[in-house]
Amino acid sequence: MDCAVVGASFAGLACAAALARAGMRVTVLEKKTDPGEKLHTTGIIVKEAIDQVTLLDGLPAELVRRINGVRLYAPNLRHVDLAAPGYYFLATDTPKVMRWLAARAEQAGARIVYRRLFEQAERIQSGFDLGEAGTTRFLVGADGPSSRVAKTLGLGQSTKFLFGVEHEYADVEIAEPDKLHCFIDRRLAPGYIGWVVAGVGVVQVGLARRMRADRSTANAAMEAFVEKTAPLFDLRRMQPVSVRAGMIPCGGVVKPVAARRVLLVGDAAGMVSPVTAGGIHTALKHGLATLTAVSFRSLSERCALRLVTRHKADASGSRHRLFSSQRRL
């Protein structure tokens, strides 16, 4: 194959779709049985992603719900409403969005192999030997915050994280459902915020906090958060229908983010917005940008790298660092 992509989530599927569309033979290796299972994200997509990421064109309306602004609560629960004309987020039925994205990558020509855990890659002259998965010229690690690709190939790994936990409640309605309710609380969510949002068919309640201790600390904070927000949204007697939890890299882009013929994208690369801690937009955007790095396979690597570094940089420093690091591909 031309390129193996590890991870069938936002970054990996975007990358696979772009490379396959450009005519490369791409295989995605995913350890889960289905791209929609065991998610660790609220799945809110920012407007910039909808506007800029063509892969999202045609996202079915029934999989999303428009959120028009933010209600920001102080620790004492007093609030201020924030909105900008024309700006919105999309809450999503994330499992279905993931399946839809996987179908788009497959339509573009990518092959997705589920239940395939990436464990090792051995460098060979023409690229990598992945054992049972075959050989590949290029390898992309889109395998999330504790990337096995990074570990195996000696690339950088994130060391600073937030830990996020979220409960989903079915058959509940909340007041002001067109707002993302965000809570500042240094005790329950140090380093980040708590949130309540009416998603697609569920209400999502979560928080993220600096990760120092074990998961039980976050679970205890969640209990306290549900209690604290009860005067606004009383969910105390409800049982969550599902729980999503995971680490959010917050230390910036890892170094090195790439080496010869191998590149990290999305959370594996530490590409999460330093402002919002959202990573879906960057995962999609940088997944798609991988094409620039590897699709000029008929040119020499040196040429490809020059193209990469010339790729229009946006204002984000992290993106600039990514492309600079791709020189090493």
Ligand X SMILES: Cc1cc2nc3c(=O)[nH]c(=O)nc-3n(C[C@H](O)[C@H](O)[C@H](O)COP(=O)(O)OP(=O)(O)OC[C@H]3O[C@@H](n4cnc5c(N)ncnc54)[C@H](O)[C@@H]3O)c2cc1C
**Which residues in this chain contact ligand X in the complex, by CB under 6 A?**
6-12, 29-32, 40-44, 117-118, 142-144, 148, 164, 166, 206, 244-246, 248, 266-268, 272, 278-281, 283
Residue nearer to ligand X on the CB measure, 76 or 132: 132
* Least distance (Å) between residue 119 CB and ligand X: 7
* Least distance (Å) between residue 17 CB and ligand X: 13
Residue nearer to ligand X on the CB measure, 76 or 216: 216
* Least distance (Å) between residue 306 CB and ligand X: 26
Residue nearer to ligand X on the CB measure, 159 or 300: 159
Residue whose Cβ sits closest to ligand X: 279
Q: Which two tokens stand for residue 64?
A: 């999303």
Whether the Cβ atoms of residue 188 and residue 224 lie closer than 8 Å to each other: yes
CA angle (95, 51, 310) in 5-degree steps: 110
Residues listed for the chain: 329
Contacts of 222 (CB under 8 A, 6+ apart): 165, 167, 205, 206, 207
* Least distance (Å) between residue 49 CB and ligand X: 8
Q: Which runs of E-coded beta strand occur in 83-228? A: 89-92, 111-113, 122-124, 127-129, 135-136, 138-141, 161-170, 179-183, 194-198, 202-210
* Least distance (Å) between residue 183 CB and ligand X: 15
* Least distance (Å) between residue 6 CB and ligand X: 5
Strands 135-136 and 258-259: unpaired
CA 286 → CA 72, 147, 216, 293, 311, distances in Å?
Answer: 30, 16, 33, 11, 12
Whether the Cβ atoms of residue 47 and residue 54 lie closer than 8 Å to each other: no
Q: Which of 112, 24, 32, 8 is nearest to 297 (CA)?
A: 24
